[in-house]
Amino acid sequence: MIFRQRKQVPWLFLSPLLAGVLLFFIWPFALTAEEVFSSGAEIFHDLFSSSSFWLAVKNTIRFLFTAVPLNIFLGLVLALALQKQFCGVLFFRSALLFPLVVPAACIVMTVRVFLAERGIVNALLFSMGLPVAGWTGGPAAFLILVLLYLWKNCGYTMVLFLAGLNLIPREQYQCAMLDGAGAWQRLLFVTLPQLRQTGFFVLIVSVIGAFKSFREAFLLFGRHPHESIYMLQHFISNNFDNLNYRRLSAASLLLLAGFLAVMGIVFFAYRKIRRG
């Protein structure tokens, strides 16, 4: 009897959280799915005929295939560099983790101070007689968003890779050196194969972080940004403001399906690599 009561205690503490998830996430999603499937093909025809939707899809895919590989590559390079002991290594590790604790509002305000139309960068360019640029309202907005994503996520990626590198036995590197393996050979045949599980987790975290970059994009560039960074989240947000709930519901469902498809591909590729 006492054992049963002890097993029920965790569920007692979890019940408010589970009730909130059911009320504010699962139930609204069920209503959205019902709205979409009850409307039939008409709602998807209306969505697919929108040029804004296809622009949002193109930019979202472009951002994923640009930002995520760069984040993984830079995180791995930094982890390999900071794995070695040298003067100031702890400072660099801490500095790379600093963006994780900086609020998004502070990041947006700092970028605006430097890159606004009358910001510090344009003031310096004007003082040197160089042409000023509309950084946040032109094609450079995509580069700014990618750099913000890297600055925000690269430190965490580095920490994950450092944890994976510390799990590799030092004896394997010593044996490889005795066999005449150089630095590149040790990296390709010792380090990278044993970082597969860590890299798999890093890929998932990076994709999730890329989808969460809409917060910075919305706060920095507004509801109607430059067309190079008009994401699916912008499309959904704008349709919510326009009270177009049918198109909003269909786009939200497709966004979830796309995210699950990406995760499915990642899991399938990982299983194939692991078996091979």
Residue with tokens 């003082």: 127
Q: If you ran DSSP here, which 8-state letter would residue 223 be given?
A: S
In a domain, 268, yes or no: no
Q: What is the pLDDT of residue 5?
A: 59
Q: If you ran DSSP here, which 8-state letter would residue 84 be given?
A: S
Assess contact for 130 and 187: CB atoms under 8 A: no
From CA 87, how far away is CA 104, in angstroms rounded?
31
In a domain, 108, yes or no: yes
3-state secondary structure of 118: coil
3-state helix, strand, coil in the chain (%, to 5): 85, 0, 15
Residue 127: give its domain's CATH number: 1.10.3720.10
In a domain, 168, yes or no: yes
Q: What is the pLDDT of residue 276?
A: 60
Helix (H) or strand (E) holding 256: helix 245-275
In a domain, 144, yes or no: yes
Structurally, the chain folds into a number of domains equal to: 1
Tokens of 96: 């790379």
Question: Tens of pLDDT along the chain (276 residues)?
Answer: 554 556 677 777 888 888 888 888 888 888 878 877 777 778 888 888 888 889 999 999 999 999 999 999 999 998 888 887 767 677 777 777 777 777 777 777 888 788 777 778 888 887 887 777 777 777 888 988 899 899 888 988 998 998 888 888 888 888 888 878 788 888 888 888 888 889 889 998 998 888 888 777 887 887 788 888 898 888 888 888 887 878 888 888 888 888 888 888 888 887 877 776
From CA 10, how far away is CA 85, in angstroms rounded?
43
Residue with tokens 């990618």: 146
In a domain, 276, yes or no: no
Tokens of 249: 């519901």
From CA 270, how far away is CA 27, in angstroms rounded?
32
In a domain, 60, yes or no: no
Q: What is the pLDDT of residue 74?
A: 93
**Would you call 171 exposed, middle or buried from its count of C-beta atoms within 10 A (0-12, 13-18, 19+)?**
exposed
Q: What is the pLDDT of residue 202?
A: 92
Write down the pTM of the prediction: 0.82
Q: What is the pLDDT of residue 4?
A: 58
From CA 39, how far away is CA 89, in angstroms rounded?
58
In a domain, 5, yes or no: no
Q: What is the pLDDT of residue 99?
A: 79
Q: What is the pLDDT of residue 161?
A: 92
In a domain, 179, yes or no: yes
Q: Which structural domain range is residue 139 located in?
A: 66-232
